[in-house]
Amino acid sequence: MNPFPLPLRYSVPFMLTVFALVLNFFSFQYELRHSYRRHEEYSRQEAVAAGYTYAALLQQLYRNNHPETARLLIEQIKGDPDLRLALVVDDRNALLHATSPDAARQRLPLLVPQMDEVRAVRACRFEFIRNNRFLMLFYPVELETPPVNGNAAPRTGILHLEHDLAGIKKQAYADALDRIKGVLIVWGIGILIIWGYFQHAVTGRVKQLLAAVNSFARGDETFNPGLQGSDELAEISRALETGIKERSRIIAQASEKLKHEIEERKQIEAELRSSEERFRTLTALSPVGIYVTDAQGFCTYVNQRWCEMSGLTPEEARGDGWIRALHPDDREEIKAAWERMVRTRGLWGTGYRFTTAEGKVTWVYGNAAPLPDSSGSVIGYIGTNTDITRLKQAHDELEKERQRLFSLLDELPAYVYVRTADYKIIFTNKLFRLQFGEPGSMRCHELIYRESEPCKDCRQLSEVPGAETTQRDVIAFNKHTYQLFEYPFTDIDGRQHMLHMGIDITERKTAEQALRESELKLRFLSSRLLVLQEQERKRIAAELHDSISQTLSAAKFGLESILQQEDPARQAGSSQTIAASVQMLSHAIDEVRKISTDLRPSIIDDLGIVAAIGWFCREFQVLYAPVSVEQVIAVREEEVPARLKIAIFRVLQEAMNNAVRHSGAGRLSVSLKKTAGALVLEIRDNGTGFAAEKLNGKDSRAGGLGLISMHERVELAGGTFSLESAAARGTAVIASWPDAPTG
């Protein structure tokens, strides 16, 4: 056998020290695991209970349309130091509120699968992540009051809470360290004592050791052999004594540990009682009725609000006593539905009535969800009852108003129908059914227009901005024309619909078409009348110039010849008469020329419109000497179409005459030029002016005959006519014709 590498007085204390360290290490690990499990279980239970409370409060706030209060509740949750994140999403997983919006937006895409699963099963879910560092909780929250009939599921949002368990681990570590600290101190003191003892008692004798051993064997637990020195017997004696003391210390340590566990259990029970008291306080203050059942569905707790709605006391509601509060007409149906829900471990949500002993009827909407334990097993159900009596009454009143509205629509002299987003007709009035028949399963375009596809002008409800109303004319399969009004609206169930109202305007359209045709004929006749008028003017002017004017000139010439050839002695009696006749003939010739010129200036046909404008302005200035005329002619003769020349001259003639007769103008400007692809004639004066707004466009026909004549001439020649005038600012007459081939 190989010798021991260390002296006995050193090896024994060293081995004991190593043993103590190893034993204390495993004891600390054991204590740490148990401490962390206790803290983790307590924290999970407290977090789940608090989460149920928050979810119930949020659900009630959203049902009562108090989103701002819900936001404040989330802000209050933010004060929890162990809460890493709290957020609320709607039924489409869109973020509503969060303690940290930025962190919530980053985390939200990763949480969608869990949220959808919770929304599907309508039950709480929790899980640990990242080596149990974080606890994630998911709760379903109904965002609106469910329909009274219970057929449609309400919109369900999700309350998500994330708790950071790092603080729990630190507390568990500290608790375990506190429990093991005494052991470490005792071990340190023991090792020092053993070390000292071996130093002084290693030289004891075998007899003393045997005597001590025999004494201990007889029941003397003092075990004091009295050996001194550093020999092996003294070391053995000391080792035995140390082993006995160690066993006693372990027993004492186990006893102390048991005492600590008993204290911790008492503390946990006290905290659970405190948590239960907080839960009862919250439920007592809740505006909705809250109830709790066991796993078999028997009632174990109801709050005060539930008792007020049902008329029962908490003792009367226990077990299945709550069924007595149901309305007789609802009792069997609700009881069977509740028992079916308990058997299937599903969710509860429906509307029914409570009837008190005094006969008071209260409409409520009840819902419930399973309450799982840490292993996921259902240990009961927790639910709420919301008073929806006023909502039910409002719904009934709304239905009455709807029926009155339908009766009113049936009396309208227009057809009315309501369609859905997929063009299905869900309402028609009496006139619609008389004109198109019962819709049945036919879409609106199939029934009204006999088309297999929707109308190209028909709007999708998703494209309707807000409540914008549109109007258009349509022709149905019966060849009638309707003025169609479209009103998008949102129904009470939140769905988008479109109301169509059509007024039969077939007769009006026929009258309008006849009026347009009559107007076209009238315009054609007016055009022909002006052409014939100009032709007649031209013929009369030619007759005056070629016939009457020539005859008068010949007569004048003859009289002048007679006057020159007559004997001076005979002239005394007849000269004055002949001279007077010559003067009258000269005046008649001038009048004939003037009339001929006014009827049709020959200069237009001989020299063109540019020369005619210059000639007319000169003659005008001679006739009205105080008036100055400024000319700006920026076109060549060949640029003016022949069909426009007489129209331009007549507008110029009428406008300038009106300026001096009615406005008292002292200065006129005449402009003829090409601008932006059009030939523009403009006559401006500095006269008194007038309110021209009512005389522009078609309203200019409300003016005098001169304005009517100018307007008709310009439009019949394919142009546009306008007036610009204001009091004391003069008047501008503007006529323009688009470019057209000359000739």
Q: Are the C-beta atoms of 553 and 596 separated by less than 8 Å?
A: no
* Boundaries of every domain in the chain: 43-166, 286-393, 412-504, 517-600, 607-743
Q: How far apart are CA 297 and CA 343, in angstroms?
A: 9
Radius of gyration of the chain (CA): 56
What pLDDT does 202 receive?
A: 47
Range of weakest confidence among 203-212, 517-526, 645-654, 691-700:
691-700
The two three-digit tokens of residue 474, written as one number: 């349509």
- Sequence-ordered list of residues with C-beta below 8 angstroms from that of 424, at least 6 positions apart, any chain: 441, 443, 444
Q: Please state the rounded mean pLDDT for residues 433-460.
A: 84
The secondary structure of 286-304 as a DSSP string is -SSEEEEEETTS-EEEE-H
pLDDT, tens only, 255-304: 888 888 888 888 888 877 777 777 677 666 678 888 999 989 999 989 88
Q: Which of 108-117, 185-194, 694-703 shows the highest mean pLDDT? A: 108-117
Place of tokens 């309305």: 327
| Helical H segments across 544-641, by residue range | 549-565, 568-599, 602-606, 609-623
Phi, psi of 477 (to 5 degrees): -65, -20
pLDDT band at 698 (very low <50, low <70, confident <90, very high): very low
Q: How far apart are CA 341 and CA 337, in angstroms?
A: 6
pLDDT at 447 over 70: yes
Domain 607-743 in the same topology as domain 43-166: no
SS3 at position 379: strand
Q: How many residues appear in the chain? A: 743
Q: How far apart are CA 69 and CA 80, in angstroms?
A: 18
List of long-range contacts for 88-96, beta carbons under 8 Å, 24+ apart = 88/58, 88/141, 88/157, 88/158, 88/159, 88/160, 89/115, 89/157, 89/158, 89/160, 90/143, 90/155, 90/157, 91/119, 91/143, 91/155, 91/156, 91/157, 93/158, 96/67, 96/70, 96/157
pLDDT, tens only, 129-151: 766 778 888 889 888 877 665 56
CA angle 692, 698, 700 (to 5 degrees): 35
What pLDDT does 5 receive?
A: 55
Q: Which H or E run includes 100?
A: none
The two three-digit tokens of residue 397, written as one number: 């009143």
CATH of domain 607-743: 3.30.565.10
Q: Please state the rounded mean pLDDT for residues 421-431.
A: 88
pLDDT at 467 over 60: no
Q: Are the C-beta atoms of 447 and 425 separated by less than 8 Å?
A: yes
What pLDDT does 60 receive?
A: 86
Query: Which of the four CATH numbers 3.40.50.880, 1.10.3720.10, 1.20.1080.10, 3.30.450.20 does domain 43-166 have?
Result: 3.30.450.20
What single-letter amino acid sits at 413? P
Q: How far apart are CA 256 and CA 574, in angstroms?
A: 171
Phi, psi of 295 (to 5 degrees): -65, -20
Q: Are the C-beta atoms of 541 and 513 separated by less than 8 Å?
A: no
SS3 at position 559: helix
CA angle 103, 106, 111 (to 5 degrees): 105
What pLDDT does 294 receive?
A: 92
Q: How far apart are CA 251 and CA 183, in angstroms?
A: 12
What pLDDT does 655 receive?
A: 87
CATH of domain 286-393: 3.30.450.20
SS3 at position 459: coil
Residue 537 to residues 529, 543, 597, Cα–Cα distance (Å) = 12, 10, 10
DSSP summary character for residue 684: E
Q: Are the C-beta atoms of 145 and 349 separated by less than 8 Å?
A: no
pLDDT band at 701 (very low <50, low <70, confident <90, very high): very low
- 595: alpha, beta or left? (left if phi > 0; alpha if psi -120 to 50): alpha
Query: Of 528, 526, 531, 470, which is closest to residue 502 (Cα–Cα)?
Result: 470
- Give buried/exposed letters for 666-686 (b at 16+ CB in 10 A, else e): eebbbbbeeeeeebbbbbbbb
Q: Which H or E run includes 326?
A: none
- Extract the runs of DSSP E, i.e. beta strands, from 121-268: 125-129, 134-142, 156-164
Q: How far apart are CA 6 and CA 1, in angstroms?
A: 15
The two three-digit tokens of residue 439, written as one number: 């819709």
- Give buried/exposed letters for 418-441 (b at 16+ CB in 10 A, else e): bbbeebebebbbebbeebbeebee
What single-letter amino acid sits at 560? E
What pLDDT does 204 receive?
A: 45
Q: How far apart are CA 56 and CA 70, in angstroms?
A: 11
| Helical H segments across 414-503, by residue range | 430-436, 444-448
Q: How far apart are CA 738 and CA 664, in angstroms?
A: 32
What pLDDT does 411 receive?
A: 83
Percentage with pLDDT > 90 across the chain: 9
Q: How many CA atoms lie within 13 A of 418 on its CB side?
A: 13
Residue 627 to residues 482, 620, 650, 656, 666, Cα–Cα distance (Å) = 59, 9, 20, 11, 5
Sheet holding 470-475, edge to edge: 425-428, 415-419, 496-504, 481-490, 470-475
Place of tokens 């190989």: 2
Please list the residues that pair with 348 across neighbouring strands: 368
Q: How far apart are CA 445 and CA 429, in angstroms?
A: 17
What pLDDT does 700 receive?
A: 43
Percentage with pLDDT > 70 across the chain: 74
The two three-digit tokens of residue 464, written as one number: 């309707």
- Sequence-ordered list of residues with C-beta below 8 angstroms from that of 305, at least 6 positions apart, any chain: 286, 287, 288, 289, 290
Q: Please state the rounded mean pLDDT for residues 6-33.
A: 69
CATH fold of 412-504 reads Beta-Lactamase (3.30.450)
Q: Pairing state of beta strands 678-685 and 731-738?
A: antiparallel
Q: Tell me how far the alpha carbon of residue 240 is from its chain's centroid.
A: 85
Q: What's the pTM?
A: 0.33
pLDDT at 699 over 60: no
Residue 653 to residues 113, 539, 597, 707, Cα–Cα distance (Å) = 86, 20, 12, 12
Residue 268 or residue 543, greater confidence: 268
pLDDT band at 600 (very low <50, low <70, confident <90, very high): low
